[in-house]
Amino acid sequence: MSPASRSRTGRTRTTKSEPMTPQPGDRIGTPSPDFLDVDKLIADQRVRIAVICGAGGVGKTTGAAALALRAAEAGRKVVVLTIDPARRLAQSLGVGDLDNVPAPVRGIDTTAGGSLDAMMLDMKRTFDEVVLAHSTPETSASILQNPFYVALSSQFAGTQEYMAMEKLGQLHTEAVESGSWDLIVVDTPPARSALDFLDAPEHLSSLLDGRFLRLLLAGARGPFRLVSVGFNLVAGALNKILGGGLLRDLQTFIAAFEAIFGGFRQRANQTFQLLASPQTTFVVVATPQRDALREAAYFVDRLSDEGMPLAGVVVNRVNRTSLEVSAERALALAEDLDPDAYAIEIEALKGHGDLVRVIENEQLLLDRFSARRPSVARTSVTSLASDVTDIGSLRRVGALLADQD
C-alpha cells in the first residue's frame, strides 16, 4: 500500500510510520490500557463475525483457532474460516486437510451446546461456485472453459481477496437463513495483505469501469464495424500481439462475465457494510517485538480510518518470570559465586538476568504502543514452552487469552 491512499469515505488515509525501538528517557509504568475481555466478546450475541488479523509469524492462526474453540465450548455455534493458504489451522485443530466446505471439529466440549466447524478458502472453487450460481448453464460453461477465466480465477492479483469477501458473505447468509452458526471467525492472511479484502469492492469497480475493459466490452457486444475507431485501433494492435483467436476469447469472456462481475461488486459492497456494522469485530494479533508492533499499529490505524469496529490487540508470546530478582542483582550474584562450585547456579542467574532484560524491553515497546493508542484495549498471552498442535493446547491458549493477570 502506498504511503497515502483514499479511504472508503473519500478521506485521504496516511499510513503511519513510527520508531518502535525504546528511546532514552522511556519509562516502564505507562498506565495500562483497558483489558480486552475475550470472554465478554464471546458472550456478546450481537457479535456474529470476528476478524483476526496481524503480521506473519505472530501466532494469528493459533489465536483465531483458540478464540473459536473457546467460543464453541462456551456455547456458541462457530465456524472458523482461514484465508491463509498455509495449513496451520487444520494442524492446530487436529483435523485433516480443510477445504471450501465447513467440516466439524471433533473432541471439543459440547456440554454448553456449542459446536465448531472449520474450513479453508479455496479461491478457484469459490469463483466457480459464483459463476454457476449466477449464470445460465450455457453461460457458465462458456465462462468456466475460457482461458482468461482460468487465469483470472487462479492467478490474478486480488482474486483471493475478492473471493474472501464472497465466501464471508455466503457464510453469513447461510448462518442467518439456517442458523448453522452464530459466530464466524475469520483468520486472515499474514502481513498487510490481511486487510486487502476491505478494498475488494473498490478494486472491482476500478476494473469494471476501466477504459480498456469498456473498449473490449464494446467490441464484444457487436460487430467491429459498429465500434469506434479507437477500438478498431486497439483491436488491430492486440490481434498482432495476441492473435485473433486469443482476442476473441477475451471478448467472449468479458461479454459473458459482465453481469456476474456486477453482481459480485454489489455483494462485496454489502459484505463491506457488514464488516463495518456492530455485528463484526476485529482483533489484531502481535508479539512484543518492534516490527510486529509496527505492523499492529498499521492494522489499528487502518481499521480506525475505515471506521471498522476494533475490539483490541492480543499480544502473543509475552515473556514473564515469577522470580522477583532484578537483572542487575542476578548478574551481580552470578559474579560473586565460585564458577567451579556453582556453575549451574551461575548459568541460571545469568539466564534470569537476560530474561528480565527481555521482559523490560518488551514492556517499554508495549508502553510506547499504548501511549500512542490509549483507547485500544489489550490482552497478553504468555509464551508457551511448546508448540500448539492439538485441542488441549489450544484450550490452554484460550484460557490465557481470557486471563487478566
For residue 66, what is its C-alpha cell? 483458540
pLDDT of residue 163: 82
- Res 207 pLDDT > 80: no
Higher-confidence position of 135 and 357: 357
Average pLDDT, integer, range 251-278: 75
Percent of the chain with pLDDT over 90: 38
Q: Which range is least confidently modeled, 54-63, 108-117, 138-147?
A: 138-147
pLDDT bucket at 293, cuts 50 / 70 / 90: very high
- Res 272 pLDDT > 50: yes
Burial of 338 by CB count in 10 Å (0-12 exposed, 13-18 middle, 19+ buried)?
Answer: exposed
**pLDDT tens per residue, range 359-386:** 999 999 999 999 999 999 999 999 888 7
Instruction: Answer left, alpha or beta for residue 262, where phi above 0 means left and psi between -120 and 50 means alpha.
Output: alpha
pLDDT bucket at 15, cuts 50 / 70 / 90: very low
pLDDT bucket at 161, cuts 50 / 70 / 90: confident
pLDDT of residue 256: 65
pLDDT of residue 265: 72
Tell me which residue has cell 465456524.
Answer: 79
Nearest to 306, CA basis, from 3, 9, 1, 47:
9
47-194+273-319+383-401 has CATH 3.30.2010.10 classification: no
> Do β-strands 49-54 and 280-286 pair in parallel, antiparallel, or remain unpaired?
parallel
pLDDT bucket at 10, cuts 50 / 70 / 90: very low
